[in-house]
Amino acid sequence: MENNEKEKFLIEISQLKENNNKIKSSFLDVVKALNCLYAMLEILTNDSASIDELCDIIVGLTFPSWEEPHKGYTRAIVYNKEYKSPDFRVTEWKQLADVIVEENIVGKIEIYYLEETPENSYTTLVDIIALLLGKIIEQKLSKDKLKKANEEISRATKLKDEFLANMSHELRTPLTAIIGLSSSLIENVYGNLTKGQYKALNTILTSSNHLFNLITEILDFVKIGVDKLELKKGIIPIERICKDSIYIIAKSAEEKRINILLNIQDDLKEIEADFRRFKQILIKLLDNAVNVTPEHGEIGIDVSYSGEFINFKVWDTGIGIKPEDVSNLFKPFVQLDTRLTKKHYGVGLGLSMVERLIKLHGGNICVESEFGKGSSFTISLPNKIKDKKKIDYYNKEQRKICTILVVDDETDNLMFICDYLSVFGHKVFVAHDGFEAVERARELEPDIIFMDIHMPVLDGIEATKNIRLHNKNVPIIAITAFTISEERDASFVAGVNDYIIKPFSLEELTNVIEKYAR
C-alpha cells in the first residue's frame, strides 16, 4: 500500500514538473512574442524608413528568424516583391497570414518550420505581425501622400505668388503710364487743354482708375485669402481720411446732384489704421452709396465714439437692401443685381474685401437697411492709440527743389514722372537699368532716388544694395507692385526707405518727395 502511494506521489510530481515546463515554455514564448512586437514597433515607427526597409525589418524580426533561426525561415511578399531570411527554403510545415492595406490584400507573411508547426500562439503571432505590417504600410502611404500633397501645395503656392507678382507688374506698369500721363495732361503740364480734350482725358483717367481698382480688388482678395496682405498702421487724422475719401467720389456724386454730409464727434481726432487700406474701405462704401442713391439724394459719413470702439457709419438714402439679400452682402463674387440691365458694375468682391480688410484691422462691420429707403454700413475699429508714429501731411507751399534720380526700364513711366517733377523745378535725371542707376547715383549724389524693382539685367533690389555700399543716407523709394511680402521685405533689407505702389497718383509722388526732402 505504501509503495502504491509512493508511486502515485511520484507520478503527480512528474505531472507537475511537466505542467511547470509547459507553463514555463508558454511564458517564454509569450516573452519572445512581446519582445518581437516591441522591437518591431520601435523600428517601424521610424518615419524615415521606406516600405522596402520595413519589410526587411519584419523578416529579420519575425520568429523564428530572430530568436531561433535554427527552427525555420521567414518570407514576406508585399506588392509582388519578395523579402527572405538568410538561407531561406520552403518546408511542409508553414504558417501564412495576409497583409492587408486599405482593405486590399497586398501580400503575405510566410513562416516555414524545419519541424512540426508550433502551437496556436505562434499562429496568432504571425497574424498580429501581418496586421501590424499592413497598418504601418497604410500609415506610411498616407503620410507619403500627405507629404507629396503638401509639397504640391507649396509648389503651387510659390508658382501662384510668382504669377501674381508678374501679372501685377505687367498690368500695373502700363496703367501707371496711362494714369500718370493723363493726370499730367489734366494738370496742364504739357500746356492748356480745350474743353473737348479735357473731357476725353478725364474719361481715359476715370476708366483707367476703374480698371486699376478692379485689378487691385482681385489681387488683394487673393493675398488676403493666403494671409499675404499686411497692414502698414499708423496714427491718422480722422477728418483728413474722411475728406480725402469723399474727394475721390465727389465728382460722381456731383453728376447725380447727391449731397454729401460729414459729421465727426468733436473729441475724435485720430485713429490707428493703415491709411491707404482704410481709405480704400471708405471709398468703396462711399462709391457704393453713390451708385445706389438716386439723383438729389444724400449720402454721408458719421464718426462717433462708443466704448472702446470708434464707429464710422457710411449711409445713403438709396434703394436699400431686401432682408433676404443681407446675408449675401459680404460673400465673394456675389452681386445682388445680376441682370443684363444692371446699372452698377464690378466683379462682386467689393464688400467681401471691405469686410476682410476691416477684420485685419481688428474691427467689424454691420449693416442696417430698409428696402426703398436706404442703408448704413457701420465700421467699428478698436480705439487703441498709444505711442505710435504719426503720418505727417506736409505743407505743399514749402517745397524744396531736389535733385532726383528716377530708375525705370519703362520709357513711358520715366516720361510722365520726369515731366511732372520738372514742372515744380526739380532737377530730374534718369537711369534705365540697375547698373546705370548705381553709376548715376555715385555721379549725381541725388537727394532722392525712385527705384523700380522689376528690371532686367540688374533689378532694383540688387541696385539698392550696390548704392548703399557708397551712400548710406540717400532716401531710396521703391516703385513696385509688391504683390508678395517677401519682395517687400527683401527691398527693405536691401536698404529701401519707403515704397509707392503702381499705379500711383501725382499727389502720392509729391507727398513722398516732401516727406524725404526736408
Is 255 in the same domain as 375? yes
Note the pTM of the prediction, 2 decimals.
0.48
Q: Identify the domain containing residue 353 by its residue range.
A: 230-382
Outline where DSSP puts E strands in 388-507: 403-407, 427-431, 448-452, 476-480, 498-501
- pLDDT string in tens for the chain (518-residue length): 466 666 666 666 777 667 666 666 556 555 655 666 666 666 556 666 777 877 887 777 765 555 565 677 888 888 889 888 877 888 878 888 898 888 899 888 888 888 766 665 555 677 877 888 888 888 888 888 888 888 888 888 777 767 766 776 677 777 877 888 888 888 888 888 888 888 888 788 877 877 777 777 677 666 666 556 677 788 889 998 999 889 888 888 998 999 999 999 988 889 999 888 898 899 889 988 998 999 999 999 999 988 889 999 999 999 888 888 877 777 765 555 533 334 444 434 568 888 888 998 999 999 998 888 899 999 999 987 654 444 444 444 455 788 999 998 888 778 878 888 887 788 999 999 999 999 999 999 999 999 998 888 889 999 999 999 999 899 999 987 655 666 778 888 899 998 888 777 777 788 888 888 76
Establish if 79 belongs to a structural domain: yes
Q: Report the C-alpha gap between 313 and 310 in whole angstroms.
A: 10
Strand order, beta sheet including 93-101? 81-84, 72-78, 104-113, 93-101
**Residue that finishes a domain, picked among 64, 88, 118:** 118
Establish if 54 belongs to a structural domain: yes
Establish if 346 belongs to a structural domain: yes
Q: Report the C-alpha gap between 196 and 329 in whole angstroms.
A: 40
Is 331 in the same domain as 452? no
Residue 216's nearest CA partner among 205, 208, 204 is 208
Residues 6+ apart with CB under 8 A from 454: 169, 460, 480, 481
CATH of the domain at 303: 3.30.565.10
Is 462 in the same domain as 357? no
Is 363 in the same domain as 244? yes
Indicate the number of domains in the chain.
3
DSSP secondary structure letters along 64-96: TTTT-GGGEEEEEEETTEEEE-TT----SEEEE
Here the cell at position 336 is 445682388
Is 464 in the same domain as 423? yes
Residue 399's nearest CA partner among 429, 425, 427 is 425
**Residue that finishes a domain, picked among 118, 142, 161:** 118
**Residue that finishes a domain, picked among 118, 149, 165:** 118
Q: How many CB atoms lie within 10 A of CB 213?
A: 17
Residue 51's nearest CA partner among 106, 8, 92 is 106
Is 292 in the same domain as 350? yes
Residue 450's nearest CA partner among 423, 474, 420, 484 is 474
Look up residue 390 and give its DSSP letter: B
Establish if 7 belongs to a structural domain: no
Is 249 in the same domain as 375? yes
Establish if 430 belongs to a structural domain: yes
Residues 6+ apart with CB under 8 A from 137: 51, 54, 78, 99, 101, 106
Q: Report the C-alpha gap between 89 and 96 in whole angstroms.
A: 15
- The residue count of the chain comes to 518
Q: Report the C-alpha gap between 234 and 266 in whole angstroms.
A: 21
Establish if 169 belongs to a structural domain: no
CATH of the domain at 459: 3.40.50.2300
Residues 6+ apart with CB under 8 A from 430: 405, 406, 407, 408, 414, 418
Look up residue 295 and give its DSSP letter: T
Is 254 in the same domain as 369? yes
Task: Report whether 343 contacts 215 (CB < 8 A).
Answer: no
Is 253 in the same domain as 377? yes
Is 475 in the same domain as 352? no
Is 296 in the same domain as 358? yes
Instruction: Convert 169-226 into a string of H (helix), E (strand) and C (coil).
Output: HHHHHHHHHHHHHHHHHHCCCCCCCCHHHHHHHHHHHHHHHHHHHHHHHHHHHHHHHC
Q: Report the C-alpha gap between 281 and 298 in whole angstroms.
A: 19
Establish if 110 belongs to a structural domain: yes
Establish if 148 belongs to a structural domain: no
Is 367 in the same domain as 236? yes
